[in-house]
Amino acid sequence: MTKYSSRYASSPEAVKKYDTQQLREEFLIDDLMQEDEVVLVYSHYDRYIAGSAVPVKGDLVLETIDPLKAPYFLERRELGIINVGGSGSVVVEGTTYELGFKDALYIGAGNKEVVFKSDDSSNPAKFYLNSAPAHTTYPTKKVSLAEANKLQLGTMETANHRTVNQMIIGSVVTTCQLQMGMTELKPGSVWNTMPAHVHDRRMEVYFYLDIPQDQAVCHFMGQPQETRHIWMSNHQAVISPPWSIHSGSGTSNYTFIWGMAGENLDYGDMDVCKITDLR
């Protein structure tokens, strides 16, 4: 079963006037990882799609949705997948790719059949999905967590010591515009993406995981001089417009998956905001 919803783009001037409920309705994705369903959110920021697939009782098929106006989902799109649950597999045009916990898979445009499977229904795979428009077909490729390009950033002193795992990114996988990776915070560190930044040429979606029970992450967004916050729980995602910072602090350490698309594939294309200038 597939269900989807759409989110329209909001201007920074409009967001300044949002209350908590409206801010959450516009940017928070809080219904992911539903058993035996493919859940998709179609954002009008760069036509990005974030979603999930959790096969339990049987396999799940990636089906097209009406906003795509396409006979199959990947006719004009590419897809990134990271498994955040038990072992499973993704079958692409008859070829099976086994995905363990935190393994990734890139699927290029033009693939008509994508099927999600779990190895054990009592510990199902939980596939987190990101998709962006694509105008060229590139090969499907699996990237295990061990194969990711790893960056060690931050320090314990500033509570942001973290490992950035670049997985679906130019130095690892050839894509049209989609980029995905996973940042794991060390014990004792709680801040992600600080100093904060914006990148006007790309939008981004954050998906938070490994948040312990009864803990939470406060995600910060908005223009640097007009910030807002959204409290988030495990396995929730948040849409970040190109004009917005995207940063967070948790009540414990955690992990988040970042995905982005837009004007270019330059990972370092960003405008850093001084911490003391944030408002």
Task: Taking the CA atoms of 77, 44, 218 and 125 in sequence, report the sign of the dihedral they define.
Answer: negative
Q: What is the mean pLDDT of the chain?
A: 97
Annotated binding site for Zn(2+): 197, 199, 204, 246
Residues 77-128: tens digit of each pLDDT: 999 999 999 999 999 999 999 999 999 999 999 999 999 999 999 999 999 9
- Pairwise CA distance, residues 156 & 192, whole Å: 12
What CATH number was assigned to the domain covering residues 7-134+141-277?
2.60.120.10
Annotated binding site: 197, 199, 204, 246
Structure tokens at 238: 């948040």
Look at residue 206 and tell me whether its pLDDT is greater than 90.
yes
Residues 40-79: tens digit of each pLDDT: 999 999 999 999 999 999 999 999 999 999 999 999 999 9
Residues 222-260: tens digit of each pLDDT: 999 999 999 999 999 999 999 999 999 999 999 999 999
User: Where in the chain are the domains?
Assistant: 7-134+141-277
Structure tokens at 264: 């270019």
Look at residue 1 and tell me whether its pLDDT is greater than 90.
no
Entry pTM: 0.97
